[in-house]
Chain A
Amino acid sequence: MTTLVPAESTRDQILKVVGLSFLLPGLGHVVAGWKRTGLIWMVVCQGMMFLGLQLAGFTQFDYGFSWGGSLPFEVIVLLPESFNFGGVLLFAQFFDSVDNGGVNVEALPYRQLGYLLSGMAGILGILSAPHAAGMTLTHSEPLPPSAKKPKCHPGVAAIAAMLFPGLGHFLIGRKFKAYLLGGTVLGLFVLGMAMGHFADFDRQRHAYYWIGQMLMGLPAWLVYLPLMPLNMGGVFPYQDTGFTFTSVAGMFNVVVALDAYHRAEFDWLDAKPKKEVESE
């Protein structure tokens, strides 16, 4: 099978913008010259992160790991928030969990909304990386006017796929894969939720599974708060399998999003005159 790959200079540029986007969402765009787009990513991701942390009294930090060590600042790793690495690092320097000050987390009425917002900010933060990579590809390797332009660039395909399973493939015209992969991921998630009586999606009770569950994108984010009133009143026979299904469904969604990115990248390179493209 022939795989089309971007030119080496483009790959180097993509590596740079992806690394910078991981450090601070939007930074990759700014350094590459798309200042306005980069600033929008920064404001949205950091604004949402701060609002989420504030609403939950910064108790998200209680779920993470911190290293002081010999560094002059504290490094906190907290998933999924740390996908927005710079934002978490910055806020951790100035704020501490109210739990350490003796406030009971149950007394914070909007903590679950805060968890949701900060988790979304982390996932949106990492999505700035494929967006910057896609923009780099399309600007570094533009298509001639005569070429048939793909429906969307790889970054948009990856973001769409992460936000709703299968949507990325749908946008790039691979409807069979969209229905198959999207249906599989969504089906696994819903089945897992049903096995936990729809009460197994809660950060306070299952913080580690919650990381994977949040990777499901909008289908999970939209049901998180409405499902909060449901309580696990007992031990269900297949609840552990349900946790696994829902969490792994989110991880599968990441694989599906990566595939959407690469197929869209292939389409872009395939539309170029062949002599300009490297192949492996």
Chain B
Amino acid sequence: MSSIFIQFFLLLIFSLSLAIVVSGYRDDDPKLIMRGIPRRMFLFAGTVIGMAVVAYALGATYLFPGA
């Protein structure tokens, strides 16, 4: 059985990795790379969490069998 907290933690790890790779691709200066990482990480993680919330809300209401 998986835990929602561990899933959240794994999402943050994945978002951090993605942000590092994207920042490294976009910029060449170490300072610019480091500055871009948190913004890109939270943007990606926030988008995924937002979509998860929308999916959960739809599943619990409009798409719920019998609704």
Contact = CB atoms under 8 A, between A and B. Distances in A.
Contacts of B1: 237
> Looking at B18, B24, B30, which has the most chain A CB atoms within 10 Å of its CB?
B24
A176 B30 contact: yes
B21 A184 contact: yes
A238 B2 contact: yes
B10 A177 contact: no
Query: How extensive is the interface on chain B, given as a class?
Result: 10 to 19
A252 B21 contact: yes
A188 interface: yes
Nearest to A195: B10
B24 A259 contact: yes
Main secondary structure of the interface of A (DSSP, over half): helix
Interface in A158-217: 174, 176-177, 180-181, 184-185, 187-188, 191
B53 interface: no
A144 B18 CA distance: 39
A185 B25 CA distance: 13
Contact of A245 (B7, B14, B20, B24): B14
Contacts of B22: 255
Nearest to A266: B28
Given A237-B2, A238-B10, A241-B10, A174 B21 contact: no
Contacts of A184: 17, 20-21
A167 to B, nearest CB: 14
Interface of A: 174, 176-177, 180-181, 184-185, 187-188, 191, 237-238, 241, 244-245, 248-249, 252, 255-256, 258-259, 263
Interface of B: 1-3, 6-7, 10, 13-14, 17-18, 20-22, 24-25, 28, 30, 33
Given A188-B17, A244-B14, A259-B24, 6 more contacts: A177-B28, A181-B24, A185-B17, A241-B7, A255-B21, A259-B25
